[in-house]
Amino acid sequence: MSEKKRDDRKNWYPLDLSGTVYPTLQRKDYSAVFRLSMTLNQKIDPALLQQAVDQAMPRFPTFKVAMRKGLFWRYLEPNHRPGPFVREDIANPCMPMSFKGKSRYLVRFYYYENEISMEMFHSLSDGNGGMCLLKTVAAQYLRLKGVAVSCGEGVMDLNQEPDPEELEDAYAKYARSQSRSALRQKKAYRVRGTREPFYTLNVIRGVVPVSQALGVAKRYGVSLTEYLNGALIYALMCKQKSENPVRQKPIKLAMPVNLRNLFPSRTMRNFIVLAYPSIDPMLGDYTFEEIVKEVHNYMRYHINPKFLGADITTDYAVRANPLIRIVPLFIKDFVVRGFYVRVQDKQSSAGLTNMGIIRLPDGLKEHTERVDILMGQPFSARTNCAVVTYQDQLSISFASCIRETDVERLFFTRLVQDHIHVKIETNRSQ
């Protein structure tokens, strides 16, 4: 065996707790891919951007990998193939990624006018880890253009070796709660719509002044995240009412929580867990004020290390079970896919993730005009929402594989009713 192959075997990375699920759900028309974008104040030079990608990728060993399949588990191995290659942007983002593609990278880079976009398969990381890669590439690009950009705020030093903590599976480190949480919950209301043709992802983005949105949230006595969750639950509630169902179902959002805010970790890999703010219309009619208060109370009660530590422990205990470990991978795939389709996917009406405030170091900050995030294609026929804040711009992006836009329209109408100015952008042709 060559020296390189021996070194590669030492540097294999088992998939983290979240990362094990996404390859199992992979279909020809679905792949768990998300997108992060930064808009600079100058037109992008693709040749220089390619140099920046080539120079930055080795600093992120858990991203410079290919997916491999073993007898019992999938894992990530170092990828020495050329790439990933910068490409001109496309109309329908977050297209499925093949594990057996030519270069086998699970990261893609695009450019369009002033914008740099990065797409990543979710098994590698969540949005927080992915944002570090995009920031570092953008910073290196500007350095190649002659701009002095400092490190920090997620921009990594390319001359520094990765800290071992950046590479760790933080779930394994913090799965130590004495308690367990319930795996099954009630089925939630799900939007029914006309599925779009294969490879079509509809994007509707609202750009909002942060100061206005914060002022409205403060008026309701809630945080910005709680207000936006309340607005989406309200939109889904109105949508379900308009369908005149015989029996209304609970409306629940799947909301990723960044565990780095609760547990001390510098991991670049996935470290999120889902929370489910919800209402049950069978209990009676809800005003918007009641919804945001319900979300507020849920967040205050559930978003803490004890509750979420129990969620981590519950999920990790299943994977660490000695009997589960020796079950062949094809059987694991069959069971996990069936559980997700029949149970977990039906536990939420939509997804909403808020990356929070993006901070950039000197040099990069002065040349960046906007930051956007897109959750990518939903597993089932519904819409997902992703939110990010940069300076005084709040970017709210919906991704959907259905033709109808009722939920998005109701959501942004709610914001306008609260006197928030919304600028709408879309990739739809009509």
Confidence bin at 382 (pLDDT 50/70/90): confident
pLDDT of residue 1: 43
Q: What is the mean pLDDT of residues 137-141?
A: 98
State which of 174, 192, 216 marks the end of a domain.
174
| CA torsion through residues 352, 18, 298, 185, sign | positive
Which CATH number fits the domain that encloses residue 298? Answer: 3.30.559.30
Same domain, residue pair 150 and 289: no
The tally of domains found in the chain comes to 2
DSSP output for 313-353: HHHHHHHH-HHHHTS-HHHHHHHHHHHHHHTGGGG-SEEEE
Contact 270, 316 (CB under 8 A): no
Average pLDDT of the chain, as a whole number? 92
pLDDT in tens, 108-135: 999 999 999 999 999 999 999 999 999 9
pLDDT in tens, 189-243: 999 889 888 778 999 999 999 999 999 999 999 999 999 999 999 999 999 999 9
Task: Let me know if residue 341 belongs to a domain.
Answer: yes
pLDDT of residue 314: 81
Confidence bin at 7 (pLDDT 50/70/90): low
Task: Let me know if residue 7 belongs to a domain.
Answer: no
Q: What is the DSSP letter of 363?
A: T
pLDDT of residue 323: 80
Q: What is the mean pLDDT of residues 276-289?
A: 96
State which of 174, 190, 217 marks the end of a domain.
174
pLDDT of residue 184: 60
Rounded distance between C-alpha atoms, residue 140 and residue 391, angstroms: 21
The pLDDT of residue 177 is above 90:
no
Confidence bin at 181 (pLDDT 50/70/90): low
Which CATH number fits the domain that encloses residue 95? Answer: 3.30.559.10
> What are 5's two structure tokens?
């192959």
* SS3 assignment, position 424: strand
Same domain, residue pair 164 and 232: no
Rounded distance between C-alpha atoms, residue 215 and residue 211, angstroms: 6
The pLDDT of residue 10 is above 70:
no
Task: Let me know if residue 122 belongs to a domain.
Answer: yes
Total residue length of the chain:
430
Look at residues 8, 183, 162 and name the one whose alpha carbon lies nearest to residue 81: 8
Of 83-97, 98-112, 163-177, the one with minimum mean pLDDT is 163-177
Same domain, residue pair 102 and 219: no
pLDDT of residue 292: 98
| CA torsion through residues 261, 264, 269, 273, sign | negative
Task: Let me know if residue 196 belongs to a domain.
Answer: no
pLDDT of residue 102: 83
pLDDT of residue 101: 79
* SS3 assignment, position 262: coil
Same domain, residue pair 141 and 218: no
Main-chain phi, psi angles of 256, to 5 degrees:
-65, 135
The amino acid at residue 113 is E
Q: What is the mean pLDDT of residues 34-56?
A: 98
Tally of CA atoms within 13 A in the half-sphere of 94 that contains its CB: 26
Same domain, residue pair 159 and 209: no
Same domain, residue pair 110 and 41: yes
Rounded distance between C-alpha atoms, residue 203 and residue 413, angstroms: 17
Task: Let me know if residue 181 belongs to a domain.
Answer: no
Rounded distance between C-alpha atoms, residue 44 and residue 382, angstroms: 34
pLDDT of residue 29: 83
Task: Let me know if residue 101 belongs to a domain.
Answer: yes
Same domain, residue pair 353 and 297: yes
DSSP output for 59-96: G-TTTSEEEEE-SS-EEEEE--SS-PPEEE--SS-S--
> What are 239's two structure tokens?
């949508």
Look at residues 417, 376, 306, 314 and name the one whose alpha carbon lies nearest to residue 95: 376
Q: What is the mean pLDDT of residues 283-303?
A: 96
More confident residue, 339 or 82: 82
Strands 272-275 and 65-69, bridge-based pairing: unpaired
Q: What is the mean pLDDT of residues 22-27?
A: 92
The answer, yes or no, to whether the previous bond of 61 is cis (omega within 30 of 0) is no
Of 184-188, 237-241, 395-399, the one with minimum mean pLDDT is 184-188
- Give every CB contact of residue 293 below 8 A, 6+ residues apart in sequence: 220, 221, 222
Same domain, residue pair 139 and 236: no
| CA torsion through residues 215, 221, 226, 232, sign | negative
Same domain, residue pair 142 and 228: no
The pLDDT of residue 291 is above 80:
yes
Task: Let me know if residue 8 belongs to a domain.
Answer: no
Look at residues 65, 100, 117, 99 and name the one whose alpha carbon lies nearest to residue 108: 117
What is the pTM assigned to this prediction? 0.94
Task: Let me know if residue 187 belongs to a domain.
Answer: no
Rounded distance between C-alpha atoms, residue 156 and residue 217, angstroms: 34
Same domain, residue pair 326 and 254: yes
pLDDT of residue 176: 80
pLDDT of residue 257: 95
pLDDT of residue 9: 56
Of 84-93, 138-147, 339-348, 367-376, the one with minimum mean pLDDT is 339-348
* First vs last C-alpha separation in the chain: 57
The pLDDT of residue 5 is above 90:
no
Domain of residue 155 covers: 13-174
The pLDDT of residue 380 is above 50:
yes
Same domain, residue pair 142 and 248: no
Rounded distance between C-alpha atoms, residue 394 and residue 357, angstroms: 9
Same domain, residue pair 20 and 139: yes
Rounded distance between C-alpha atoms, residue 116 and residue 144, angstroms: 15
